[in-house]
Amino acid sequence: MAAYIGTPTSRIDGHAKVTGAAKYAAEFNAPGLAHASLVTSTITKGRIAKIDASEAMRVAGVIDVITHKNRPTMASRDKAYKDDVAAEGSPYRPLYDDEIKFNGQPVAVVVAADADIARFAASLVRVEYIEDPFVTDLLEQRDTAHEVERPSRPRGDAEAAFAAAEVRHEADYFIPTEYHNPMELFATTVTWEGDGKLTVYDKTQGVQNVQRYLVSVFGMKPDDLKVVSPYVGGAFGSGLRPQFQVALAVIAARALERSVRLVLTRPQMYGLSYRPATIEHLALGAKALGPLEAVMHEAIAQTSEYEDFNRNDVAWADQLYKCGNTRYSHKLAKLDVSTPSDMRAPGAASGVYALECAMDELAVALKMDPLQLRFVTYSDREQNADRPYSSKKLRECYRQGAAAFGWEKRNPEPRSMRDGSELVGWGMATGVWEALQMPLTVRIVMTANGHAEVSSATSDIGTGTYTIMAQVAADMLGLPIDNVSIKLGDSTLSESPVEGGSWLAASVANSIATTAEAIRKTLLGVTKTMPDSPLADAKPKDVMLADGKIVSKKDASRAIPIADVMRAGKLDRIDQKAAAPVKDDGKYARNTHSAVFVEVRVDEQIGVIRVTRVVSAAAAGRILNTKTAHSQLLGGVVWGIGMALHEETLTDHRFGRIMNANLGEYHMPVNADIYDINCFFVDEPDATINPMGIKGVGEIGIVGVAAAIANAVYHATGKRVRDLPITIDKLRRD
Amino acid sequence: MINFQYARPNEVADAVRQIAADPRARFIAGGTNLLDLMKSDVEQPSRLIDISRLPLKSVEETPDGGLRIGALVPNTDLAYHPLVESRYPLLASAIMAGASQQLRNMASTGGNLMQRTRCYYFYDIATPCNKREPGSGCSAIEGLNRMHAILGTSESCIAVYPSDMSIALAALEATVRVMGPGGERTMAFADFHRLPGDTPERDNNLEPNEIITAIELPPQGFAKNHSYLKIRDRLSYAFALVSVAAALEMDGEAVKEARLALGGVAHKPWRVEAAEAALAGQPANEASFAKAADIVLSGAKGFEHNAFKIDLARRAIIRTLTQAANGTPQSQSSKKIR
Amino acid sequence: MVRTIEATRPISESIPTPPKIKVSLKINGDLKQLQIAPWTSLLDLLRDTLDLTGTKKGCDHGQCGACTVLVDGRRVNSCLTLAVMKDGSEVTTIEGLMADGKLHALQQAFIDHDAFQCGYCTPGQICSAAGLLAEGKAHTAEEIRELMSGNICRCGAYPNIVAAIQQAMSAMGGNS
């Protein structure tokens, strides 16, 4: 039955991607397409006093300059701007009025015959502002932060237990603002279909989310606007909410009643969303052997003045470590910046970084091997609700990861391992993420010629959705994978949530199985009407679809070709739509886990850090595609390396402006930074979580990596750097 | 990018005439820096004079045994040129430490000398910058200055000249040949770039109506004992925090002659002849190298975020000189520091 | 709300855009006679005018490598190349790598090794790798890594990219 599931099937969209045939949002064309270019705010807070577009309008080829003064009508109520995954608050409205809320906010859209003209004309638009005082520095607003949630109820008396603990560790960790920086520039091409109908090609992780948002903001009829996004050049969370380029492109198209394309520049993308700068305060208490005595974790993250964005940074210890006394708190500091957003493993990438560095520091204080500390504090039950896991093979991750890495050869003493001029450091950390499933509807159209079209309005942001959908459908329908075609990234397809949180694989695969089951039932029903049917007595659970036949599970000789069944039933096609039920009665904790082991080499004199070896062992339920899932883990590790050593947004708080808003000075890893990375999954059957036992793999790869690197750097050098990224200057800091 | 005229002269003299006729015109060769700046509206030339087809692309030996490198020789061609690889490996190594292979394929030798600073404020036209807009103020002095200069700074500018290739050219005592309306002249490499002083808008001493035609290298290439060490925030494709070009002529265990130039620390390649002189005749050991480093860095001044560069430069100088003395130059593909 | 600004604007007041220049380029084997404004990058010419959208724009400033194409056999950043300056050149883009309907060895190797995820940097990676093979300077994994560092992959497929290039090197008879 599983001819494809669990195999290293190559991406079915691979050919399109290696030949340049795959089309991204800025690559769709339309007759008379106009090109838009943005003018963005150079102040951080205040009002637009005047926009002088007269010179821009004089440029030959300029069609219009659109500002808040002459834009088409937009909704006036906050609610109209709330998308499916909006943060609490009052969403930013592109080009709505004269108010400036953040530096880099769009203030005018210049539309011209071609992109060069639009860009030139945009440089001629003169904007005068009335500036207000502003604050963009989290450290300055730390004390004004307000508590937004209690992510997990307190247990025991953490303060008292911490005070009484034999061994204590307490410190602040810091994660700077980081940007997703997908390689594709955010872009939208709006094609004017006549009569006000629009097709919107957008870079997004949720075509239906964008569709609903636009319909609501512009008061359009749902049937008059469709959103299409077959390929997405990376997103990592940045495409979950509708971003301002899509609203601005639609504004221009509606104002001019023609097709318009807007491609943001890389610097303009720093006005979109990001992982918020966060201060993480950790306090851990322990005794020599046994569970932790106390865990206190407080996060203070930045958000915008207009929305409260927050994710669970602080309660991850509940998923990992046995402890009776915990206290968690999450605070937000409001700044004059754009709203942060989900970025790969939001909350966990930052919160678990701090937790796992603190655990390493605790192990040092306990004079205990950090891996041993993980074993002695290991929890088989999720602590907060005191419930079992649907599955948790974290012990296996530790064991297999440590074995693959050779952890037992580690000398615990910092600065004890050397190779010539380099100090060698070995560090480890734990990763954890949620295993979620969302309601999602799949449609399958199976034709008598043995072809199936499988569709849903989801997206493939590089995660491999196309391929796993085809694998699952091929297995469930008993077809060769080449006979399955996949459609996604189109808002008119059946209902799908945004693609994020690692929930898509479980959601779509189980729904394909459910829909295939409906098809099987339909086919079985027809077989009952066939004379001398070998399946006359069979119940739906007794049969499967395999090799183009409907066949008895018990006796493979009792089978009928699907084509024959369809002919008998006079069916040209079977068209089914179904959604797998999403059941979570709260009895089980649902998580993925990982263990990450890292070797760094640090030149003793100079301080250059190289991450020469990474082993990441993950437990993530059933793996649908061992090749693409491996790539997900690998990508997560590369992200962790960037987070640990490179990534940082530099804001000049005098101006409120991001000064490294580009790919030259916002450093992300390049090929030379990446050495040997060994990622693998440990076997983790899970009969509880969902029928197919799928947990999702998009986020787990990054979680824990930065901590393992920071811990390895400490082991190599004896220097503990708690504020990321760990750059050469920080190693020398007093 | 603003509207500009485009012209493509066929002869050097014609190119000079054209640039002399329009003070807002710029030469373009590889375009890797100029177009980047034009797209950021930092450079707004009225006219681009495309010199990429001028006959300045040859690498020839000079009668005195040196090398003449045409100003339009692409960076990769120069780095891979057999005479450069064999006789001036320090130059080849420094070139390969910079940018990416794509950019090195495009960038020209002369253009590299004209490369402008990567200072954040210079690039962002919404912020004050004396280099971009004289008199508007320097935002870096009290701003984000981790990448900035520690030597030769002024009250009006602390920008850094970002080239790698030029650091090697400075150490090798190259000569710059330039052509202007009045004919040809030569400049010692040390005289080509400027310190910011109170005219940071001027990066170098090339006159507005002059064109670089060639770089000449003297015969001595230090092929045996040299090294280029570049330290940056990731292992490739990033500008230097500090880089060191070291070239030695050894006499047994002692240094006979030394050359030392630093990148990433000043508005020009930083070379202190007194430090080189102090090495001459000294044993090639850490004490001698440390002494030279201290001379080079005397007068270094750190700002809020870049003071670390002083100690880093000191360590890097000692290390690079050690590599050079040992005949184990830093590899640009292996990231382990030798 | 259709606007008719174009029609009402007095011609005399308008700021002209640069006159187009006649340029001939051989793109993926086809000789093209084009009229190009001087400020148009080779990248924008390919994507916006010729609809060769396989070449990608990731930064437009030579900082990511997504726009890498081969000009006269050498890999360059098409975003920092003015199209008019390449008059008479041969340009090869990702669309021109297939021969006789068959994938180039690099294209196949990228699929085999899952050397991409979102696919956006991929054409640039493949063209860059084609340039690297032609240069013949990279022999070890270390050298491949360094000479491929001008192509950023945010999905983090680097080890798979190196493996794919090594496979193509052996397939094409090069040393690896």
Q: Please compute, for residue A400, the number of CA atoms within 13 A of its CA located in the half-sphere on the CB side.
A: 17
Between CA C50 and CA C66 the distance in angstroms is 18
| Domain termination residue (choose one: A579, A610, A633) | A579
Model pTM above 0.95: yes
- The shortest CB-CB distance from A119 to any of B1, B238, B312 is to B1
Label each residue of A242-281 as H, E or C: CCHHHHHHHHHHHHHCCCEEEECCCHHHHHCCCECCEEEE
Q: Is A699 a catalytic residue?
A: yes
> Bridge partners of C85?
none
State whether B312 and A42 contact (CB < 8 Å).
no
State how many domains chain A has: 3
DSSP sequence for B211-234: EEEEEEE-S----SEEEEEEEESS
Which parts of chain A have pLDDT scores under 50? none
**Which residues of B fall within a CB distance of 8 Å from C84?**
6, 50
* A540 and A462 within one domain: yes
| Domain ranges (residues) in chain C | 17-95, 105-171
Pairwise CA distance, residues A338 & A274, whole Å: 9
SS (H, E, C) A78-113: HHHHCCCCCCEECCCCCCCCCEECCCCCEEEEEEEC
B220 and B64 Cβ atoms separated by less than 8 Å? no
Specify if A500 maps to a domain: yes
Task: Identify the CA nearest to C64 among candidates A667, A270, A18, B77.
Answer: A667
Q: In the 8-state DSSP scheme, what is residue A345?
A: S
Residue in A685, A702, A669, A697 with CA at minimum distance from that of residue A596 = A702
pLDDT of residue C4: 39
Check whether C5 has a pLDDT greater than 70: no
pLDDT digit of tens for each residue in chain B (338 aa)?
A: 888 999 999 999 999 999 999 999 999 999 999 999 999 999 999 999 999 999 999 999 999 999 999 999 999 999 999 999 999 999 999 999 999 999 999 999 999 999 999 999 999 999 999 999 999 999 999 999 999 999 999 999 999 999 999 999 999 999 999 999 999 999 999 999 999 999 999 999 999 999 999 999 999 999 999 999 999 999 999 999 999 999 999 999 999 999 999 999 999 999 999 999 999 999 999 999 999 999 999 999 999 999 999 999 999 999 999 999 999 999 999 999 99
Write the CATH number for A115.
3.90.1170.50
Which residues of chain B neighbour A650 with C-beta distances below 8 Å?
Answer: 120, 144
- C156 interaction partners in chain A (CB closer than 8 Å): 634-639, 669, 674
Across the interface, of C21, C76, C145, the residue whose CB is closest to B6 is C21
Are A432 and A444 in the same domain?
A: no
What residues pair up with B232 in beta bridges, in sequence order?
B240
At B115-174, the pLDDT tens digits run 999 999 999 999 999 999 999 999 999 999 999 999 999 999 999 999 999 999 999 999
**Same structural domain for residues A591 and A702?**
yes
Same domain, A327 and A427: yes
Q: Which CATH class is domain C105-171?
A: mainly alpha
Question: In chain B, at which residue ranges do the beta strands (DSSP E only) sit?
Answer: 5-7, 25-28, 47-50, 59-61, 67-70, 175-180, 183-188, 211-217, 225-232, 240-251, 254-263, 270-271
- What CATH number is associated with residue A363? 3.30.365.10
Q: Are A327 and A379 contained in the same domain?
A: yes
Rounded to 5°, angle at Cα A550 from A544 and A554: 55
The CA-atom distances, in angstroms, between C84 and each of A106, B79, C44, C71, C87 are: 32, 27, 12, 13, 6
In a domain, A563, yes or no: yes
Q: Determine which of B3, B333, B335 to mutate to test the interface with C (most C C-beta atoms within 10 Å).
A: B333
Same domain, yes or no: A616 and A726 = yes
Q: What is the ipTM of this complex?
A: 0.98
Mutation target to probe the A interface, by most A beta carbons within 10 A, among B3, B148, B231, B235 is: B235
Q: State the pLDDT at residue C103.
A: 98
Q: Do A646 and B233 touch (CB under 8 A)?
A: yes
Q: Are residues A607 and A727 in the same domain?
A: yes
Those of residues 89-118 in C touching chain B at CB distance below 8 A are none
End residue of a domain, out of A224, A250, A271: A271
Asked if residue C1 has pLDDT above 50, the reply is no
DSSP per-residue string spanning B7-59: E--SSHHHHHHHHHH-TTEEEESS-TTHHHHHHTTS---SEEEE-TTSS---E
Other Cβ atoms within 10 Å of B44 Cβ, number: 15
User: Which residue in A has a C-alpha nearest to residue B146's C-alpha?
Assistant: A729
Kindly list the residues from chain A whose CB atom is less than 8 angstroms away from the CB atom of residue C154: 180-183, 234, 236, 668
Percent of chain C topping pLDDT 90: 87
Q: Is B118 left (phi over 0), alpha (psi -120 to 50) or beta?
A: alpha
Residue A146 placed within a domain: no
**Residue C9 pLDDT greater than 60, yes or no:** no
Count CA atoms closer than 13 A to A354's CA, side-chain side: 32
- Closest by CA to C53, choosing from C26, C89, C93, is C93
Chain A nearest-CA distance from B79, in A, is 20
Pick the residue of C17, C21, C78 with the most A CBs within 10 A to test the interface with A by mutation.
C17
Q: Which residues, in sequence order, are CB contacts of B188 under 8 Å at separation 6+?
A: B173, B175, B176
Determine the Cα–Cα distance for residues B103 and A228; give it in Å rounded to an integer.
Answer: 35
Residue with tokens 């030379």: A672
Q: Where are the alpha helices (DSSP H) in A406-503?
A: 465-477
User: pLDDT (tens digit, 9 = 90+) per residue, A633-685?
Assistant: 999 999 999 999 999 999 999 999 999 999 999 999 999 999 999 999 999 99
What DSSP line would sit under A17-38, residue for residue? HHHT----GGG---TT-EEEEE
Q: For the domain covering C17-95, report its CATH number.
A: 3.10.20.30
- The 3 state secondary structure assigned to A593-622 is EEEEEEEEEEECCCCCEEEEEEEEEEECEC
Query: Does residue A519 sit in helix, strand or coil?
Result: helix
pLDDT of residue C6: 43
Residues of the domain holding A341: 278-436+586-731
CB–CB of A335/A140 below 8 Å?
no
Residues B126, B138: Cα–Cα separation, whole Å: 13
> In this structure, are A392 and A468 located in the same domain?
no
- What are chain B's domains? 5-52 (3.30.43.10), 225-326 (3.30.390.50)
Q: CA gyration radius for chain B?
A: 19
CA–CA distance, A372 with A355 (Å, rounded to integer): 16
Under DSSP, the state recorded for A703 is T
Place of tokens 């400036």: A100
Q: Please tell me which chains touch B, using 3 or more CB pairs under 8 Å as the contact test.
A: A, C
**What distance in Å separates the CA atoms of residue A733 and residue B170, rounded to the nearest whole number?**
32
A66, part of any domain: yes
Q: What is the pLDDT of residue A688?
A: 96
Write down which residue in A579, A607, A638 finishes a domain: A579
In a shared domain, residues A352 and A289: yes
A88 touches chain B (CB under 8 A): no
Partnered with residue B25 across adjacent β-strands are B47
Q: Is A6 inside a domain boundary?
A: no
The residues, ordered by sequence, that sit 6+ positions from A226 with a Cβ below 8 Å of its Cβ are: A198, A199, A200, A211, A490, A491, A492
CA distance linking residue A432 with residue A173, whole number of Å: 19
**Residue A697 falls within a domain, yes or no?**
yes
The whole-number pLDDT of residue C70 equals 98
CA distance C153 to C150: 10
**Residues A382, A386, A391, A393, CA torsion sign:** positive
Task: Kindly report the average pLDDT of chain C as a whole number.
Answer: 92
* Same domain? A635 vs A700: yes
Edge-first strand order for the sheet with B225-232 is B225-232, B240-251, B254-263, B270-271
To 10 degrees, the CA torsion angle through C106, C108, C113, C115? 60
Tokens of C159: 């080890």
Q: Enumerate neighbours of C (3 or more CB pairs within 8 A).
A: A, B
A9 domain residue, yes or no: no
Rounded to an integer, what distance in angstroms lies between the CA atom of residue B264 and that of residue A271? Answer: 30
Residues in contact with C118: Cβ distance below 8 Å, sequence separation at least 6, in sequence order: A182, A183, A184, A231, A232, A233, A234, A235, A461, A462, C154, C155
Judge if A603 and A460 occupy the same domain. no
Clarify whether residues A483 and A595 are in a common domain: no
Residue A195's Cβ-count burial label (10 Å; 0-12, 13-18, 19+) is: exposed
Query: Rounded CA gap, A360 and A370, in Å?
Result: 6
Residues of A in contact with C43 (CB under 8 A): none
The reply to whether A620 falls in a domain is yes
